[in-house]
Every structure is written in C-alpha cells, then in structure tokens.
Structure 1
Amino acid sequence: MHSTVAVPAQRNTLAITACLLAIFTTILASHMPTPLYAVWQQAWGFSATALTAVFSVYVLGVVLTLLTMGSLSDQLGRRQMLIPGLLFILLGSVAFMLAGDIYQLGCARLLTGIGTGMVTGAATAAVVELEPDGNWARGATLSALAFTLGAATGPTISSLALRWTSHAHIWPFLIVIGLSVIGIVLLARAPWPAHLGQRQQGFSLRNWRPTPVRVPRALLGSFLFSAAAICLAWSTGSLYSSLGPSMARNLAGVSDLALAGLFAAGWQLVAGITQFAGQRQPLNRLRIAGPVMLIAGLAAMAGAVLLASVWLFTLATLATAMGAGAIGVIAIVTIARSAPPAERGAMTSAFYLAAYLTMATVVLSIGFASDHFGMVNSMLGFTILISCAALGLMLVRRRA
C-alpha cells in the first residue's frame, strides 16, 4: 500500500517541476532582451517609436494566442500545449541571436509572444491540478514565483553579459535555448496522472476551431476581482521593467548604468520572494497588507521623483515590489480556487490576457505622457492613479 501511494506523488513532483521550468523559461525569454534594446538601437539607428512597436508586437502575439487558443489545453491536454509553446520560445531565441535589423527583432518578439501565450495559461493550470495533496494555494504561489524569478533573472543575465562579454546578444539566448530543450525533455518524459490535463475523449485537432477565451457567468465576480488584482500588480511591475532604468538615471540620480539597469531585476526578485512568503499568510491579511504596502511604496516613489533621492527610490522599489507581490498571490490563488477543472485553462488564459493588456497599456500610456508632459509629471500621475486603484481593491474586497 505504501508503494501505491508514493508513486503518484513522485510522478506529480516531476511533472510540476517540468511545468514550473516551462513558466520560468518562458518569462526569462520574455524579459531577456530588455537591457539589450539600447545596444540594438545604437547599432541599427531605429527610433523610440520603432522600439515601442517591437514591444507591441510581443503583446500582440501573447494576446492573439490567449484569445484563440486559451481553452485549447482544456481539450487537447496540458502537456500537448506546453511542448509546442516551448518550441516557439526556442525559435524566438534563435531569431534574436540572428537578428540584423528592427524587422527581424520584431519577428523574434512575435515568436516569443506566441510561445508565452501558449505556455502561461496551460502551465499554471497544470501546476494547480498536479498538486498531490490538493494544496491549491501552494501550486498557485509556485507558479507566481516562477513568473517573477524569470522576470528578475532575464534582465540580470543580459546586464551581466553586457558588462562581461563581447557577445551579449548571443550568450543570454543560448541559455534560453538550453532551458527550453531541458523543459521539453522533462515534459515528454514525466509521468502524468491519467485523470489530469489529458486530451478530451472525442476531441479531434483536425475539427478544432479557435474559440474565444470565456468566463462562466457564475464565476464572473471572482474573475473580475482576481483580474483587477493582477492588473494592479503588473502595472507597477511593467513600469519597472520598461522605465525602471530610465527612472533611476533621470529622476533618482543613479549614475552607474549597470546599477540603474538592475533596479528592474531587483523589483522582480523582491516581488518573487514576497509571493513565496505570502503563501503562509491568510488571504484576509494579504488583502490589507498588499495594497497598504503598495500605496506606501508609491508615496516613496513620488518623493524620490520630487527630491531626486536614490534612497527614496530604493525604498520605493522594495515597498512596491512587496505590495505587488502580495497582491499577485491574492489574484492567482483566487482564480485557482474559483475555476473548475473543465474551465481552468480558459479562465487562466483570460486572467493573463487582462494582465498583458494592462501591461501594454500602462507602458505605452506612460511613454506617451512622458513625451507630452515630462517624466516627472507622468510618474506623479501614475502614483496617484495606482494608489487610488489599490485603495479601491482593498475596500471592495472588504465589503464583499
């Protein structure tokens, strides 16, 4: 009897590891190019508008994939969706290595975006389902941790490659290719429970047609709350990922370019650690602590912008990361608990669809506002807007 109980747990552990590696590799690949854009821009002479277009192409790939194939893993199977997704990530990294102009760079970003859309929803749903003891909170938190660690590690590797190697456009993407291959092998070889994430009986890929991401009406309330929470968390994260180094240099007075570039990675790392620690806390406590910490960090950011203070900017980075990390745990645990197995892939994809659309909207809006009203005024407006949203999220959930 002991052997029959232990085998499924071991099998689930290997499958969970493969899914978490898929998430980590995908988000690593998504954030890897961030410090390299300035190098490509200097070498090829493209404008800031063209760089914004490249970013939009990536989001377009993610969004289109989530919209058309968000529910496919519910029918085809989780593993059957993850392996092709990692192949797109691998091809995107190869395209980055070989890119010679802005159009090839856009193609590489598009491939990466498609792979990200295929992997994120399916892998997160699989990790939650594969938890052997039914610990949904742990599965959801591990997925969120893989996201944030990938986001932190990507720009860190590229920054170190820029400082220590002469081929910074090659080595980081070789790492992504290697991790993609390992992830594909693990997914192919890991034993998978027969009752989880398998092809539905009677499903035929030949007869399949793209279906929009959907949310059951009965679960709309829980979905809207979790989507609002993840959008709030990712708004601050996307700000640091896109404009963190510029803010550190131009607003906080950080003269070291390498140090300025690591603020984005540091934000993601602190957010990841917070998410890991947050799984031990009651959700009711996180619903208060997360927004309060985020608002305090945004206040410190406003002070750093007005006073050009490196120390206040560092404090703002730590506080906003902790607040956003706690809010991210609330969002992912809520969506994981509310989504039934037959709808989990579709609902998770809709969840990340909202997050990616918010990420693109925030970055493009702040960039537009900075050109017309200046970066200082744009950052102050951002802190006020996100603080009001955090307060609203806390009050709405307390009333519910």
Structure 2
Amino acid sequence: MMQSPRLAMGACLLAIFTTIFASHLPTPLYAVWQQAWGFSSTALTAVFSVYVLGVVLTLLTMGSLSDQIGRRQMVIPGLLFILVGSTLFMFAGNINHLGVARLITGIGTGLVTGAATAAVVEMMTDGNWARGATFAALAFTLGASLGPTTSSLALRWTSHAHVWPFLVVIALVLLCLILLLKAPWPAGLGQHHPDFRLRKWRPTPIKVPRPLLGVFVFAASAICLAWSTGSLYSSLGPSMARELAGVSDLALAGLFAAGWQLVAGITQFAAQRQPLTRLILAGPLLLIMGLAAMAGAVLLGSVWLFTLATVMTATGAGTIGVIATVTIARSAPPAERGGMTSAFYLAAYLTMATVVLGLGFASDRLGMVNSMLGFTVLISLAAVALMCTRRRVQP
C-alpha cells in the first residue's frame, strides 16, 4: 500500500519556502552594508547578480540531475548550500564575503527549487498537477515576501539585524533536513535510478525547436520584462526608497521590496483564469502606468507616488509573468518541454543580472535619478513592443 505523501510534500514545500526566503532575506540589509562599508551601487548590484550566476550555472549543469538521482537526493545538498550561505552572510565582514555568500545561496537555490517543485507536483495523489504547481508557487510567493519583511523588522526592533534573520534561515533549514530524512517517501516517485552512473551523465541540452522560435521569443521577452522590474526592487528597492523617495527609516524602506513581491505573487494567482487577450493589454498598461508613477516619485521625492508605483508595477509584472508562463506551457511539446523551459528561465535570469548590473553602473556615473528615469523609459518601450508583438504571435 502506498504511503501517504503528505509529510514528504510538506517537507518539499517548506524547502522551497526556506530557499526563496533565504534568497530574498538580505535585500533590506544591502543599504545597511553599503552605508557601513562604503561600496558603490555597481558593487551592490554585482553582489546581487552573483546570485544569478550561481542559479544559472546550476540550471545549466545539474537542472535535470534530480530525474536520475532522485528528488530528495538533490534537495538535501541544496539546503546545505543554503545553510552555508546564510552562515557566511551572518559573519560577513566585507563585500567579498557578501559575494561568496550570494554565489553559494544561488547554487543552493538552483539545486532545491527545480527538484522540490517536481516532487510536489508528482506527489499529488489525485493527479492534479496544476494544484501541485500552485502550492509550489504559493511557497515561492510567501518566501519572496516574508524574507525581506523579516530582515526589515529586524532593522526596526533589534541591534543585530545582520545576525538573527539568518539564524531563522538556519533553523528552517535544519527543520527541513529532519523532515526530509524522516518523512516516508512515496515509492516510485523521484527515486534514484538503479542503472544511473554519474560519470555517464550529461546535462540536458537547452534548445528551442525552430517552428516554435517565434512563440518562445514572445514568452521569453514577457518573462524578461517582468523579472527586470522585480530585480530592480530586489537589488535597489530599499536604496531607491531611501535616496529618491525620502524614506529615512531603513526598516520601512526594506518593506517596499517585500510588498512588491507580495503584490506580484497575489496578482499571478488572480490572473491565472483570465484570457491571454485580456492580460496582454492589462499587464503592460499597468506596468507603464506604474513606471510613470515611479518617474514622478523620483522627480518629486514623493513617498506616496513611490508606494503607488510599487503596487502598480508589481501588478503589471505579475500579470505579464502569467502571460509568459501560460504561453510557454501551452506551446512546448512534451518531448521539448525540458529544454524550452530551461531556455526560458535562463533568458530571464541572464536579463535580470544584466539589468541590475547596468543600473548599478549607470547610477554611479549618471546618478540614481537619471538612471531610474532612463529605466522607466526603456521598460515602458519594451512593454509597448510586447503588446504589438502579441498580435503576430499565437501560442
């Protein structure tokens, strides 16, 4: 008789939550470290982008390895990377330590999220894969919003904000490891293949079938557009709130990043049942209006406009993210789905790193005000182009 997967599924969902929680936890602290150690915006965004490097390298080399060695066998080492990364953050003494901690956290994220998400989907006893994916997405959203919230509250209420939030991560990782090791694992789901040999394993090639290239470019462009705005808040959001909108409280400044992630996540759930023809108009228009509000906040130094910009850009980006994921899910044939999905997220991560590094570099040379205004113009033009492209691409 097949054992109940409930505990194992809960352990995997907690692993996803913990990993994304740890990934977003440092966001409000970057401004504090920048003030204390005096590094540039370029250096700050480089630290953020190193995380992307860790995720991308893992996706390119080990993204499909859990299909062979088992889901749990991939999640546990990934959590150990998260544990080490959080410990390094806690004892960091300079920006180089932050970079190493981010890289290790990125590797752990790449190892955990794919394998744990696949395990959750596979363990849905009623065969409802969509529900499993929704549970995993909920864990992502909660982790992305509660991570910066936790460190923002630490800035407000404690004198050791660089320490105790990472102790929370370490405690969560230890709990995950105990549950994963103790939980009965359903037979036949994500198990180690007896004929697998590591020396013969090769990464799954990332490729897009030529007939589907147009649809892929549309979907990849949409996810890149959504993630570009999200990465802005994840890397420079607290600094923008403090330097441009006049938010002097570092704890409150950090909550803008948490709020953006929460609104974007809620929007994704709300928009899933809407037709693409409606979303392709609503998403880019909301994003453009939010970017206009951001430009106004930058020019006027208005906290209220910056708050409005945060809500509207998050809603627009969340809607565009749904457009991208639905398009790629509908268009990719089963035999090509792994490669297309990997290419899809690879484009998103690389764009996110490029945008963040470019903004940091521009901020140091042109000033943050000019850089943000340029960002709003470029992303608005990209949103208009996405709406125009949709008329020619039918997923």
Q: TM-score, normalised by structure 1?
A: 0.86
Match of 1:165 among 151, 158, 179: 158
Residue matched to 1:20 = 13
For 1:348 and 1:126, the matched residues in 2 are separated by 17
Distance 1:380 1:38, change over 3 A: closer
Structure 2: runs of 5 or more not aligned = none
1:19 alignment partner, SS class: helix
Structure 1: runs of 5 or more not aligned = none
Contact 1:24-1:149 within 8 A present in 2 as well: yes
For 1:219 and 1:83, the matched residues in 2 are separated by 36
Residue matched to 2:346 = 353
Point out the more displaced range, 133-142 or 23-32. Answer: 133-142
For 1:95 and 1:272, the matched residues in 2 are separated by 29
For 2:73 and 2:330, the matched residues in 1 are separated by 24
Match of 1:76 among 66, 69, 74: 69
Deviations 1:18-42 (A, max 9, x none): 3332222111111112222343344
Contact 1:74-1:342 within 8 A present in 2 as well: no
Match of 1:90 among 83, 87, 97: 83
Deviations 1:221-245 (A, max 9, x none): 5543332222111111111112222
- How far apart are residue 307 of structure 1 and its match? 2.9
For 2:247 and 2:96, the matched residues in 1 are separated by 33
Match of 1:180 among 169, 173, 179: 173
Contact 1:239-1:363 within 8 A present in 2 as well: yes
Residue matched to 1:197 = 190
Residue matched to 1:331 = 324
Deviations 1:147-175 (A, max 9, x none): 23222211111121122122222211111
Match of 1:101 among 94, 99, 102: 94
Match of 2:54 among 57, 61, 66: 61
Point out the more displaced range, 108-117 or 93-102. Answer: 93-102
Matches within 5 A, 1:233-252: 233-252=226-245
Deviations 1:79-123 (A, max 9, x none): 322221111111111222233333333222221111012123333
For 2:219 and 2:182, the matched residues in 1 are separated by 34
Contact 2:53-2:103 within 8 A present in 1 as well: yes
Contact 1:292-1:323 within 8 A present in 2 as well: yes
Deviations 1:309-358 (A, max 9, x none): 32222111111111111222333344445556676555444333222211
For 1:221 and 1:72, the matched residues in 2 are separated by 29
**Counterpart amino acid of residue 352 in structure 1:** Y
For 2:39 and 2:261, the matched residues in 1 are separated by 28
- How far apart are residue 377 of structure 1 and its match? 2.5
Contact 1:140-1:336 within 8 A present in 2 as well: no
For 1:218 and 1:201, the matched residues in 2 are separated by 37
**Counterpart amino acid of residue 243 in structure 2:** N
Residue matched to 1:374 = 367
Residue matched to 2:256 = 263
Contact 1:254-1:310 within 8 A present in 2 as well: yes
For 1:120 and 1:101, the matched residues in 2 are separated by 29
Distance 1:247 1:45, change over 3 A: closer
Distance 1:226 1:166, change over 3 A: same
Residue matched to 2:358 = 365
Residue matched to 2:223 = 230
Deviations 1:122-141 (A, max 9, x none): 33344444444454544444
Residue matched to 1:39 = 32
For 1:84 and 1:159, the matched residues in 2 are separated by 29
Residue matched to 1:285 = 278
Distance 1:390 1:159, change over 3 A: same
- How far apart are residue 267 of structure 1 and its match? 0.8
Contact 1:226-1:331 within 8 A present in 2 as well: yes
For 2:224 and 2:102, the matched residues in 1 are separated by 22
- How far apart are residue 48 of structure 1 and its match? 4.5
Point out the more displaced range, 119-128 or 21-30. Answer: 119-128
**Counterpart amino acid of residue 11 in structure 2:** A
For 1:103 and 1:20, the matched residues in 2 are separated by 32
RMSD (Å), alpha carbons: 2.8
For 1:327 and 1:14, the matched residues in 2 are separated by 34
- How far apart are residue 177 of structure 1 and its match? 1.3
Distance 1:270 1:367, change over 3 A: same
Contact 1:86-1:180 within 8 A present in 2 as well: yes
**Counterpart amino acid of residue 374 in structure 1:** G
Contact 2:22-2:147 within 8 A present in 1 as well: yes
For 1:98 and 1:360, the matched residues in 2 are separated by 25
1:34 alignment partner, SS class: coil
Residue matched to 1:317 = 310
**Counterpart amino acid of residue 288 in structure 1:** L
For 2:288 and 2:358, the matched residues in 1 are separated by 20
Contact 1:252-1:310 within 8 A present in 2 as well: yes
For 1:394 and 1:133, the matched residues in 2 are separated by 38
Residue matched to 2:201 = 208
Point out the more displaced range, 15-24 or 359-368. Answer: 15-24
Point out the more displaced range, 331-340 or 201-210. Answer: 331-340
